[in-house]
Amino acid sequence: MNQALLRHPHFVSLEGGEGAGKTTAINALRDWLQAQGHEVVLTREPGGTPLAERIRALVLTPDAGIAGEPLTAEAELLLVFAARAQHLSEVIRPALQRGAFVISDRFTDSSYAYQGAGRGLDLQWIADLERRVVGLLPGLTLLLDVDVAIGRARANGRDLWPDRIETEQDDFFQRVRAQFRQRAQDDPLRFRLVDASQDQAGVAHAVTALLAQWMAQEATA
Ligand code: T5A
């Protein structure tokens, strides 16, 4: 497949660094959409199907390397795209085709941020994979932006064991944050930036207001 990227107005993604608070935000969006009478599919990446969840475990389990053989950055990128291909075919496209809203906790922007900026892989390579394997963009991407130290403190407060990516150093997460912010700046039509340093109720209110605003805008476009 080699196709242009299509935006789907019923496809919403949430992005951000570790501990940005996507879980509460996603639940608030689901509740709001359901109250409007919409079918909503909540999903996440990497993952979202049984097979893609197996790939997620490979990517995130701290000792994913077999017998001391670490996962390379390139293998990590291809694994997240393999999971995404499966996720698109089994969950995202069928749900969009039947008219449901799909809200995904992370999507391709995370590959640019983590494997591109974080691991230092070529962004053009990621763009090629996105065009060939994915072909789809969310209509709306809510970027939950928070200082790296605050987000990491939240994630550390919750997790007993950090996953493979959470064991990276602060400079990795600074590059991730900068890449997300750059992407938001480059595509203001799709992205909305949310101040995720406020409390959970504030973030939930902000994301639902942005979704409502965006849907009203779409309806008159
Ligand atoms: N990844 C993913 C890639 O490398 N490439 C890719 O292409 C893709 C798709 C996913 C990992 O995979 C990587 C990125 C990630 O490292 P994950 O466990 O799903 O792994 O990681 P995250 O998505 O970062 O999940 P987190 O749980 O860390 O972040 P969330 O979901 O944003 O945070 P949440 O809502 O679970 O909250 C974390 C804690 O903070 C508290 C919560 O109660 C919770 O304890 N909290 C707040 N506290 C105070 N104020 C607020 N506003 C708060 N919001 C949440």
* Any domain includes 69: yes
* Any domain includes 103: yes
Which CATH number does the domain housing residue 195 bear? 3.40.50.300
pLDDT for position 17: 95
Question: Ligand 1, residues 22, 58, 105: which to mutate, most atoms within 8 A of Cβ?
Answer: 22
What is the number of domains present in the chain? 1
The one-letter amino acid at 132: R
pLDDT for position 159: 67
Does the predicted model carry a pTM greater than 0.85?
A: yes
pLDDT for position 158: 79
User: Which residues, at least 6 apart from 96, have a Cβ–Cβ distance to it below 8 Å?
Assistant: 8, 10, 11, 102
The string of pLDDT tens digits covering residues 128-149 is: 999 999 999 999 999 999 999 9
Comparing C-alpha atoms, which of 38, 30, 48 is closest to residue 110? 48
* Percent above pLDDT 90 for the chain: 87
The pLDDT of 171-188, averaged and rounded, is 98
Q: Which atom of ligand 1 is nearest to the CA of 45?
A: 9
Q: d(Cα 147, Cα 19) in Å, to the nearest integer?
A: 10
- Using a 6 Å CB cutoff, which residues line ligand 1? 16, 18-24, 45-46, 60, 80, 105-106, 110-111, 114-115, 154-155, 157-158, 163, 165, 199-200, 203
Instruction: Identify the H or E element spanning 156.
Output: helix 148-158
* Any domain includes 121: yes
- Angle between helix 50-60 and 73-87 (nearest 10): 160
Mean model confidence pLDDT for the chain: 94
Owning domain of residue 40:
6-220
User: Which residues, at least 6 apart from 180, have a Cβ–Cβ distance to it below 8 Å?
Assistant: 15, 16, 17, 109, 113, 143, 145
Q: d(Cα 215, Cα 221) in Å, to the nearest integer?
A: 10
- What is the torsional sign of CA 146, 149, 151, 154? negative
Lowest mean pLDDT among 87-96, 139-148, 161-170: 161-170
* Any domain includes 67: yes
CB 146 within 8 A of CB 193: no
* Any domain includes 1: no
Which phi and psi (to 5°) does residue 69 adopt?
-95, 105
